[in-house]
Amino acid sequence: MIVDLPDTTTSNVSKTLIKIREEGGAVALGRVLTLIIATTLGQEEEVIEAANEASREHPMRVIVVSTADPDHPHADAESRLDAQIRVGGDAGASEVIVLRAYGETASDEEGLVTALLLPDAPVVVWWPGTAPDVVSTSPLGRIATCRITDSSAAGDPHEALLHLAETYAPGDTDFAWTRLTLWRAQLAAALDQPPYEPVDSVEVSGAPDSPSTVLLAAWLRLQLDAPVQHDLTARQRGLSGIHGVQLHRASGTIELVRDMPDVATLRQPGEPTHDLALPRRNLRDCLAEELRRLDPDELYGKVLTQGLPLLESEEREAAIR
């Protein structure tokens, strides 16, 4: 069911939610968190679909705050709030509240959502596009337990990562890190086998617009304490994301290379070659994983604030030499 509330107020939205609950049953029962999605006008449906799919694992209330970017035709529109409530089959296992804010109304994001938050439940904020300059001190970030960004959506993903490192606060996370989970698991499993030799050096390659490749290199540098070279090129038939990793040891090289979009090849000395399913993770998978843990991801924080600067410093030194 979809209920449209044009030119409304958050108070009216709240009253309508209560009315829907009374007429159709306890809609909010079992909701475990509030997910706030901060996006731009016209970009709501893809992220709502991802949230609906993730809600089958994490029943929640989804509040979409949609505002105009500075270049949008409605950026200077008269102050107004148009709302929409979706429940039942139109909202997966969640209830979705879409708030389209125009003009001055859009400037108070925290005020828009405060009355609609589930009581005594964690709040997660997700910026699928452009994130605030400092997410932890932004109007929505201040009220959140967990703050999710996606540096791959930035014009310069590498610079976006460096900025996230400078402004990091516990509770911040980024989908560029979430997309690494399968890669990290496969590489850890490969190293968790005899002969248990130290890794002497590492090579990581990926597409030019892949912040995940940089984070993977930073993670390996931090965890293995070995020199890491990362090559961001587009030479592998236009493949996006991470292309491959080589771990050099005395007994030979472990290679995990993705030559096709969804399949990676694992080569190890003295072992048969294996083809592994390693697809690029979609928004639903990334969001569902982040919602499984709402405490600060300490490893991500270390990789971002320690591993990434170390990687950058060694790269600059190598360039000077």
The pTM for the full model equals: 0.92
Tell me which DSSP letter residue 150 carries: -
Least confident of 29-33, 46-50, 138-142: 29-33
Same domain (yes/no): 69, 139: yes
Same domain (yes/no): 245, 115: no
Residue 26: C-alpha distances to residues 83, 108, 194, 255 (Å): 21, 30, 55, 53
Same domain (yes/no): 8, 140: yes
Same domain (yes/no): 145, 26: yes
Same domain (yes/no): 74, 199: no
Position 220 in a domain:
yes
Position 34 in a domain:
yes
- The pLDDT of residue 29: 53
Tens-digit pLDDT profile for residues 149-199: 999 999 999 999 999 999 999 999 999 999 999 999 999 999 999 999 999
Same domain (yes/no): 73, 132: yes
Cα angle: 289, vertex 61, 82; to 5 degrees = 125
Same domain (yes/no): 129, 216: no
- The pLDDT of residue 51: 95
Residue ranges making up the domain that contains 56 = 2-149
Same domain (yes/no): 15, 142: yes
Same domain (yes/no): 69, 187: no
The DSSP secondary structure of 12-70, one letter per residue, reads: HHHHHHHHHHHHH--TTTT--EEEEEEEETT-HHHHHHHHHHHTTTS-EEEEEEEE--T
- The pLDDT of residue 161: 96
Single out the residue of 42, 46, 35, 96 nearest to residue 67, CA to CA. 42
Give me the number of domains the chain comprises.
2
